[in-house]
Structure 1
């Protein structure tokens, strides 16, 4: 029988309750493991004696292992290929930014280096988006909250992680309970990440968005919109049939009214599909009642999955000018990082071809810049 990750908070709490052990020991256990890599949970000192046989029989400090670590030539991006105890693989991606470089909003950038970690929430994905390599895998399994948190633990040995984005493999809101529990762990007394520096991306799972504002009120919400009208959205995102655009927009307005949080809109630019001037105007009209940041994503064709072509740079710039100039919608173009380590923006798949692992990985503009706008 597979053991649980020590970072599976809900399971650990339940086991402690049944054994009459106080929850106060949980952050102490996590902190010890973080400061003593390689130790096992039952090696943590100063716990009640009854805790040790429970921990040694039912939990491991890490249930996943690093299968490979690949740096880009400029060492700005690091891909962590992580093997789960089931034998499946997911990727976590570290993206490093130096805020002292360049300007933001016309002003010098404050601060200094910071790192964003892109996390997976599932093995595969059932959404089937036709522009996304992950969709070619189908859905394999959900990650437990501990397996999600372990990605942060692995990444923390390479960089001081300041921001988290759930933009890796899977639809986070289709693994809702585990994602919420993982975020609560990340923002707790052990990891101490700010919820305002955590972003959860979704294709628009309406019922889960309604819950998110209550369960995780201060996290950032990103919506993979990718089209301004329902017909196009269903063409490129089959799951959109279950989440009609009109209902989704009504839901987002309610979410923003209740949360007072801006919404990040992800929009992949596909030549001749959703990148024309009329689409920019339709998108501007759709979003004009919301406070949003639109992130235009250059499309990178991948082998046999390339049924689309990338929009020209001219079309991307024109699209951006319309949103900004006509509708006053804050709009950025996603920055690409780590092309030399086989990165494809907005796409991630891990599959076996014979004995060779094929990897593609998601990258994004600095999320802290995108989420810093006040509502």
Structure 2
């Protein structure tokens, strides 16, 4: 049996449900769990007996079933502009996933004619699966096929690894995989991320989906106050099916009804992701169709310039002029807030749609080789 197919002998200490169940069965108070997480975050290479003041039963239980980290940071590669870092993370089963740190300065630009408040912040794009079964034709991850789901601990460990390199304020589930196809791990991972010691705000976490209707129907109840982003990418069903094979299982009309119910229950804006494919979905006709589809919703449309993925793609990038025309139509005709995503990390294949595991040439696997000025970016 190959290394990637072996069952994992140990669980991540960040697999909250498993750890809690083991503690309860052993009669160990679960209030020690957040303290263990804090110590592990501060001491990632620690031994279990180095954690102070735990019950004696915990010192025998933890090494028998858990590891502080079941994954390792294989490499961290900076983009040339220094604002994006792609992390290659090796899992316990031998597989790899990617996560991307994106650094922003929220003070740039104006707000109501005045300097914007805030400062430097980092967003982490995390993966929920190894590969993806959705098969979107414009996305490199889809070419990998589906390998396996990540455990909640493996998802949280991406945040733990990234937190050693930058102070993470936002998390987006827009990496490898369809998050809502790994629903239970997604929900548990977010609950850990918003608990002590991570303490991320649910409002700073965004879950992206191609439109898994049955999961959207329960998302607000399970993860209140988190943001929902929908990878729509086309305003009509036939175009969606051409570029997103999974759309056949989730008809556009039923998806929009699910989003209507979600918005009614959550009272939150929905983010609409729309990748711009030249000659496919970027014309004025599609802009009007999209505007009419969304005009009764409270949404923010995020137009995403297509990122080339070499010989794997038959698509080309929409011109800047066409993107702006599309944006103006949505804004001016339908009064829909519409943004254009800033491209980050293209040179390290860390931009939207480019995440596919290609092992680096090992010029360096130490994050410190790439991140000498990371202290300047901390908040």
Partners of 1:297 and 1:40 in 2: how far apart?
45
User: Is residue 230 of structure 2 the alignment partner of residue 223 of structure 1?
Assistant: yes
**Any conservation in 1 of the 2:295–2:336 contact (CA below 8 Å)?**
yes
Partners of 1:325 and 1:89 in 2: how far apart?
44
* Greater relative contact order (Cα < 8 A, sep 6+): 2
Note the alpha carbon deviations across 1:18-48, whole angstroms, 9 max, x for none.
Answer: 1011111100110111122311344311111
Note the alpha carbon deviations across 1:79-115, whole angstroms, 9 max, x for none.
Answer: 1110001111111111111111222565432111111
**Any conservation in 1 of the 2:207–2:227 contact (CA below 8 Å)?**
yes
Note the alpha carbon deviations across 1:325-348, whole angstroms, 9 max, x for none.
Answer: 000000001101233323343331
User: Which residues of structure 1 form unaligned runs of 5+?
Assistant: 358-375
The answer for the alignment partner of 2:55 in structure 1 is 48
The answer for the alignment partner of 1:151 in structure 2 is 158
Partners of 2:321 and 2:25 in 1: how far apart?
62
Give matches, 1:1-375, under 5 Å.
Answer: 2-104=9-111, 107-351=114-358
Note the alpha carbon deviations across 1:139-194, whole angstroms, 9 max, x for none.
Answer: 00000000000000000011110000000000000000001000000001211100
Partners of 2:256 and 2:44 in 1: how far apart?
45
Partners of 2:112 and 2:171 in 1: how far apart?
23
TM-score (norm 2): 0.91
Shift of 1:310: 1.1
Question: Residue 21 of structure 2: SS of its match in structure 1?
Answer: helix
Partners of 1:278 and 1:148 in 2: how far apart?
40
Question: Residue 357 of structure 2: SS of its match in structure 1?
Answer: strand
TM-score (norm 1): 0.92
Partners of 1:104 and 1:346 in 2: how far apart?
30
The answer for the alignment partner of 2:367 in structure 1 is none
Aligned length: 356
Q: 1:42 to 1:207 in 2, by over 3 A?
A: farther
Note the alpha carbon deviations across 1:299-322, whole angstroms, 9 max, x for none.
Answer: 122122121111111111110010
User: Which residues of structure 2 form unaligned runs of 5+?
Assistant: 1-7, 364-379
